Amino acid sequence: MTVIKPELPLDEFPTLSLAERDRRWAAVRAMMSSAGVDALIVFGQGRNALDSYLTNEESHATVLFTAAEDPIQFVGDVPINRYDGAGARYERWTDSWQHGNPIANLSAAIVDRGLATATIGVVGLSSRAVGEWAGVIPFSTWTTVLQKLPDVTFVDVAQAYEHLTMVKSAEEQQMVRKAAQLGEAACAAYVAATGAGVLESVPTAAALAAIVAGGGWMRAPFILERAGSHRFGWGNPEWFSMGGRPYELQPGDSIASEVFAFYGGFESQQQIDVVVGEPDRLLRELEEVCLESYRAGIDALKPGLRFAELAAIMDEPLARSKTWNTGPMVQTVAPVIYNSATRLDPGVDPALAHLPALPAGVGLDGDFEITEGVAFAFEPNALRDGKRVCIGGTVLLTANGIEELNTIPNRLQVVPA
Per cent of the chain over pLDDT 90 is 92
Its pTM stands at 0.96
pLDDT of the residue at 95: 93
pLDDT at 371: 98
- CA nearest neighbour of 299 among 378, 197, 200, 232: 378
- Short-list 323, 367, 365, 313, CA closest to 344: 323
**Is there a contact between 295 and 359 (Cβ–Cβ < 8 Å)?**
no
Report pLDDT digits (tens) over 334-366.
Answer: 888 999 999 999 999 999 999 999 999 999 999
pLDDT at 2 over 90: no
Residue 185: the pLDDT is: 97
Q: What percent of the chain has pLDDT over 70?
A: 100
**Is residue 273 pLDDT above 80, yes or no?**
yes
pLDDT band for position 10 (cuts 50, 70, 90): confident
pLDDT reading at 267 higher than 90: yes
pLDDT given for residue 1 in this prediction:
79
pLDDT surpasses 80 at 7: no
The whole-chain average pLDDT of the chain stands at 95
Is a pLDDT exceeding 80 seen at residue 34? yes
Q: Checking phi first, is residue 142 left (phi over 0); if not, alpha (psi -120 to 50) or beta?
A: alpha
pLDDT of residue 8: 81
Cα–Cα distance measured from residue 201 to residue 319, given in angstroms and rounded to the nearest whole number = 34
Nearest to 168 by CA among 24, 281, 35: 24
Q: What is the pLDDT of residue 141?
A: 95
Give the pLDDT confidence score for residue 131 in this predicted structure: 80
Q: How confident is the model at residue 43 (pLDDT cuts 50, 70, 90)?
A: very high
Q: Looking at residue 46, what is its pLDDT?
A: 84
Tell me the per-residue pLDDT of 53-70, one tens digit each, with 9 for 90 and over: 999 998 899 999 999 999
Q: 176 falls in which pLDDT band (50, 70, 90)?
A: very high
Mean pLDDT of 84-99: 94
The phi, psi pair for 389, rounded to 5°, reads -130, 135
- Residue-wise DSSP of 109-132: HHHHTT-TTSEEEEESS--SSTT-
Q: What is the mean pLDDT of residues 280-301?
A: 98
- pLDDT digit string (tens) for 248-260? 999 999 999 999 9
For each of the domains in the chain, give its residue range(s) and CATH number, in order of start. Answer: 18-165 (3.40.350.10), 167-415 (3.90.230.10)
Residue 290 has pLDDT above 90, yes or no: yes
pLDDT of 289 above 80: yes
Residue 21 pLDDT > 90, yes or no? yes
pLDDT value at position 220? 85
Measured distance CA(307)–CA(331) in Å, rounded = 9
User: What type of residue is 82?
Assistant: R
